[in-house]
Structure formats: structure tokens, C-alpha cells
Amino acid sequence: MKFKSLKITTVCAAILIGGFMQSAAGHNGATGIIKERMDNMITMGKALGAVADMLKGKRDFDAKVVSQTGDVIIQHSKSLGSLFPDTNESRHGKHSAALPVVWEKNDAFLALAKSLEEKAEILKTVASGGELKMVKIAFGQTAKTCSACHADFRKKKN
């Protein structure tokens, strides 16, 4: 039973990440700080995608790659806050999908960035244990944190 629910989490997360990558393709015209934060997000999405492929059996399990994914997300979540400064360009720049609530509820926004960092720390830690089940759980928690922030702070795709 437990295994089954894990599997479903993984599939959902994989679909979510598919969505991340797809949305990434639509914003090529962005510049400046908007482009910088999009690139930051895309890098995290790609790193997570590698782990998703392992969990789907599309590539061999490789603890080192899982650990590197953890590192990439730790580093990039640390800089998330500074990529959303409260400036005119940052709030109103072309092609941005960031909602005003990013700055109106900035504490909550930063808390989610911090939470992502913590989830990625766990992903990195379980990687060295080499237990696929633990990696699945940590992966699911990480991907869920991406989606939680997008649900509240990013414009819905039309």
C-alpha cells in the first residue's frame, strides 16, 4: 500500500515537472532580473527532472546525481529571495508571471524558499543512503514545495 502511494506521488511530481519545463519555453523574451530568476527556476527544474527520470526508471539510480540535485536546489533556493527585489523592474517587468503577493506577503514567500532549501537538504542526505524509497519521499516533498509556491505566488497559465 505504502509503495503504491509513493508511486503516485512520483508520477504527480513528474507531471508537475513536465509542466515546469513547458512553461519555461514560453518566456524567452524576458530580460534582466526577470530572466535571472527564470533561469534560476529552470536550473532547479532540470536538476529535479534528472531524479524524476530515475524514479520513473528512465535512467539508472545514481546517488551522486541525486546528491548534486540536492546541492543545485540548496544553492538556488538560497538566492531566490534576492532575485525578487522590491523594485519597479522586478514587480512590473515584461514576461514576468510573479504576482504582487510576492511582495505583499514577502515573509511567507521567503519562508517557502527556506522550506525548499530544507527539503533539498533532506534529498541530499537520503541520497547517500542509496535507498530508493527514501529518495522518492524526499523528491516528492521537494517538488511539492515548488508547486506550493507557484500556487500562491505565480500567475496561472492560460
> Minimum Å distance from CB 116 to ligand HEC?
4
Question: What are the grid coordinates assigned to 125, written together?
Answer: 542526505
> Minimum Å distance from CB 8 to ligand HEC?
19
73 lies in the binding site for ligand HEC (CB under 6 A): yes
CB 105 within 8 A of CB 90: no
CB 123 within 8 A of CB 135: yes
* β-strand partners of 154: 98
Cα distance between residue 44 and residue 70, in whole Å: 9
Among 38, 54, 123, 126, binds ligand HEC (CB under 6 A): 38
Interacting positions 98-157 with ligand HEC (CB under 6 A) = 98, 102, 109, 112-113, 116, 145-146, 149-150, 153-154
Cα distance between residue 118 and residue 101, in whole Å: 23
Cα distance between residue 104 and residue 17, in whole Å: 27
Cα distance between residue 103 and residue 86, in whole Å: 7
Segment lying near ligand HEC (by CB under 6 A), choices 5-13, 41-49, 52-60, 124-132: 41-49
Count of residues in contact with ligand HEC, rule CB under 6 A: 28
Using CB under 6 A, list all residues that contact ligand HEC. Answer: 20, 23-24, 27, 34, 37-38, 41-42, 44-45, 48, 73, 80, 96-98, 102, 109, 112-113, 116, 145-146, 149-150, 153-154
